[in-house]
Amino acid sequence: MNVGVLGTGIVGQTVAGKLAELGHDVVIGTRDVDAALARSEGPRPGLPSFAQWLEQHPEVRAGTFAEAAAHGELLVNATAGTGSLEALEAAGADNLDGKILIDISNPLDFSRGMPPTLSVSNDDSLGEQIQRGYPGSKVVKTLNSVTAAVMVNPASVGEGDHHAFVSGDDAGAKAEVTRLLQDGFGWRCGPIAAGPDQEPFCYLTTKGRVTGAPHTIEIWFALDGPTLYLLSGGGRRSDWVRNLIREPGVSVRIRGRTYRARARVVTDAEEDERARTVVHDKYAPGYRGSLAGWRRISLPVALDLGPAEPAPG
């Protein structure tokens, strides 16, 4: 199959390389091919430049966003989320029309430093914006909550028996993407309703230890079965950690659903490592830099979730 991959960062390179390895005819697209080839740095320290990567993957060809989109029967948006709409405009609506567009992007805005905020959130999402902007395409959202290496090789984590969540409006497009993820990449796939972990943030409410008033923060998280893990960069000094140590009964909201939970600082060594890993690996692909230091020094906190509260109305 002819595939167009938009984006030449580590996600685009990893996915394009894997698709070519599976026998697909791949063109990887960028805004300015000459500028991309002229860069001497790789997407991360220690990785090859784009020109060097292409030499290592001669079966993949480079082109503009428009050329990659025109080439592909199947398209992959692996651009940075804040630039995705601009990249798709450059690709051209006619080149997207009628095609499946796998959206791996995250709308992470790093303009104000770490941690990033969202360029779109709450009652909207980047995937929905893309679908509205290009109604002739068939947008399928998936793989955006794991690292690039795990996207194409889930067996690299644990026993490799992991689920990928697939969401979109077109049932046929979701079925085709599911086949690719299962047969090509080695994922199991389930419905988006089962996967709130795709959300980039949760909203944790603790009881103020001094005032007794509710205190809500927006924070990165990762789910592992019925347990939600958080990492506190400020350790036990963070107000929200001090609050939940005093009163472990908390609530957490994930895209409109609120869960009652019991909070605890993780003390078991094996669970400590698991908590650091699942949170780090969810966000590292979209972060411009290394999260290794943050992973190492942060304090893992677990929320043992109860059932979701009934939806209002």
Residue-wise pLDDT for 225-274, tens only, equals: 789 999 999 999 999 999 999 999 999 998 778 999 999 999 999 999 99
Tell the CATH topology of 2-197: Rossmann fold (3.40.50)
pLDDT at 162: 79
Please tell me the pTM assigned to this model.
0.63
pLDDT digits (tens, 9 = 90+) for 288-303: 788 999 999 999 999 9
Integer CA distances (angstroms), 118 to 109, 134, 192, 206, in order: 5, 21, 20, 22
Three-state secondary structure string covering 128-183: HHHHHHCCCCEEEECCCCCCHHHHHCHHHCCCCCCEEEEEECCHHHHHHHHHHHHH
From the options 2.60.40.10, 1.25.40.10, 2.30.110.10, 2.40.10.170, give the CATH code of 201-308. Answer: 2.30.110.10
Residue-wise DSSP of 13-27:
HHHHHHHHHTT-EEE
Residues forming CATH 2.30.110.10 domain(s) in the chain:
201-308
